[in-house]
Amino acid sequence: MLGLIATMRIQDGKTAEFERVFLDLAAKVRANEPGNLTYQLTRSRAEPNTYKVLEIYSDEAAFKAHGASDHFKAAGPALGSVLAGRPDLEILDGIVGA
């Protein structure tokens, strides 16, 4: 199991557009990626232009399939147009029960 915290900073005035694009992507992730267990968009309370996506994948292969998916690639340009810099991706190893 693999966890990911994706931190994205959005340009001023573009948060509504970002949320629209991202929620559309999230729906496609949930519909098309059985190896994705969690894909939740959240917004920082400290920095309203900063969003964090809490992501959990069943394994490394599921994570790679996500990045290679058509729906993820298709969302790239629209996301790129509202981001204020590169996303920060923190990959974490999931700890599961015995």
Q: Is 31 in the site for a copy of itself (CB under 8 A)?
A: no
Cβ proximity of 83 and 10 under 8 Å: yes
Cβ proximity of 97 and 2 under 8 Å: no
Single out the residue of 34, 38, 76, 84 in contact with a copy of itself (rule: CB under 8 A): 38
Single out the residue of 61, 74, 84, 91 in contact with a copy of itself (rule: CB under 8 A): 91
Contact set for a copy of itself, span 58-87 (CB under 8 A): none
| 86 phi-psi bin (left φ>0, alpha ψ -120 to 50, beta other) | beta
Smallest distance, Å, CB 26 to a copy of itself?
Answer: 7
